[in-house]
């Protein structure tokens, strides 16, 4: 696993080298083949992922119309973190868009790391707040565009 890749992930970009090494100690790698589901909407989430190689499609099943792709994530992107932080069900499907290799961290390992290293925890949680704010702004912009189009 590559420290530079981990530093590219938005939630770990503010960590120093020693903190990145601590995160790497709890990481493992998983591989998925093209079309394989990484997780499904509604499942309990117990790990987050960072794309090392390949692409992951984030999508939802829309009643009456099938799968709707929301985004395609590239290497360095982090996903699945919401369910890890709030212990909720997955809000989307994650599907290997091509063969891919993912770095993954379980909730239990992640929580233990944050508990034992408060400075690292502060940096990661602040980065997550910024990431979620960014995603909310994008969602608001998309909703505004959708509503504007539906009025005609």
pLDDT bracket for residue 152 (50, 70, 90): low
- Residue 65 is predicted with a pLDDT of 82
Of 143 and 44, which is predicted with more confidence?
44
- Residue 24 is predicted with a pLDDT of 94
Task: Sketch out the chain's domains with CATH numbers.
Answer: 3-150 (2.60.120.10)
- pLDDT tens for residues 89-124? 898 999 999 999 999 999 999 999 989 999 999 999
- Residue 144 is predicted with a pLDDT of 85
- Residue 20 is predicted with a pLDDT of 94
Cβ atoms of residues 6 and 23 within 8 Å: yes
Residues 6+ apart with CB under 8 A from 90: 39, 40, 41, 42, 43, 44, 45, 80, 83
- pLDDT tens for residues 17-61? 999 999 999 999 999 999 999 999 999 989 999 999 999 999 988
pLDDT of residue 13 exceeding 80: yes
pLDDT of residue 150 exceeding 80: no
- Residue 84 is predicted with a pLDDT of 82
- Terminal-to-terminal C-alpha distance of the chain: 51
pLDDT bracket for residue 88 (50, 70, 90): confident
- Residue 105 is predicted with a pLDDT of 94
């Amino acid at each position: 696993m590559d420290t530079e890749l981990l530093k590219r992930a938005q939630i770990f970009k503010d960590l120093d080298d020693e903190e990145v090494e601590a995160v790497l100690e709890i990481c493992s790698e998983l591989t998925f083949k093209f079309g394989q589901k990484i997780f499904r909407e509604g499942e309990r989430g117990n790990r987050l992922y960072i794309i090392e190689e390949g692409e992951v499609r984030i999508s939802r099943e829309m009643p009456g119309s099938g799968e709707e792709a929301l985004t395609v994530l590239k290497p360095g992107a982090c996903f699945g973190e919401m369910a890890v932080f709030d212990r909720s069900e997955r809000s989307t499907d994650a599907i290997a868009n091509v063969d891919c290799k993912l770095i993954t961290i379980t909730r239990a390992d992640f929580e233990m790391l944050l508990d034992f290293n408060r400075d690292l925890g502060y940096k990661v949680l602040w980065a997550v707040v910024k990431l979620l704010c960014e995603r909310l702004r994008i969602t608001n912009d998309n909703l505004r565009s959708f509503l504007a189009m539906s009025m005609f």
